[in-house]
Amino acid sequence: MSEQSEDPSVPDMLTPAERVARMIRVDQAGEYGAVRIYQGQRAVLGKRGSDAALARMEEAERKHLATFNALMVERRVRPTLLQPLWHLAGFALGAGTALLGEKAAMACTVAVEEVIEAHYGDQADALAGGGETKLLHEIETARAGEIEHRDEALASGARDAPGYAGLTAAIKMGSRLAIWLSERV
């Protein structure tokens, strides 16, 4: 498979079908990772005050995951080979931030959702007017859910987490790396 250049002056070498397959692959991986993050947070935090919110967010991510799983089957897109890594890394990120407290768990949600919302926005822009109306709809639906989760986490005091700026910067960097890798591997 040819590679897409990150340099805008270099022409895109992927076919439209390859670009769509990458979108579906990375979106499925991201939703899978999100479910695992919430599972890790809930495993550590148990039935504390944030459990209901985390359970709602996890359920929404499960619905998005089911949608992208179905699109993978329908479009015959293989999952990322990194899925076992995201299984462990997602849970570890969730559990690790929850060990820092409920506000740090919410800061994790803010960081991940901001990256994913922007990622979905870029995908929606790329698909606009291109005939992929079903995929565009699913991406826009998932994007709206990510915005809701971010806003709920902010309202829950995420910015009050110890080391908020550094914590969210590190999580955002890791999320961007996970996106880049999942598109390609």
| pTM given for the model | 0.86
Confirm whether 3 is domain-assigned.
no
Residue 8: the pLDDT is: 46
Q: What is the pLDDT of residue 101?
A: 92
Say yes or no to pLDDT of 130 above 90.
Answer: no
- Residue 123 included in any domain: yes
Q: Is residue 10 part of a domain?
A: no
Residue type for position 119: H
Confidence (pLDDT) at 13: 84
- Decide if pLDDT at 168 tops 90: yes
Q: How many domains does the chain have?
A: 1
Residue 9 counted as domain residue: no
**Is 11 inside any structural domain?**
no
- pLDDT over threshold 80, residue 3: no
Binned at pLDDT 50, 70 and 90, residue 48 comes out as: confident
Give CA–CA dist 185/2, Å, rounded. 12
Q: What is the mean pLDDT of residues 45-69?
A: 87
Instruction: Please check whether residue 4 lies inside any domain of the structure.
Output: no
Domain with 110, as residue range(s), is: 16-184
49 pLDDT tier (thresholds 50, 70, 90)? low
Both structure tokens of 43: 């495993």
Mean of pLDDT values over 155-183:
94
Q: In this structure, what CATH number is given to the domain that contains residue 158?
A: 1.20.1260
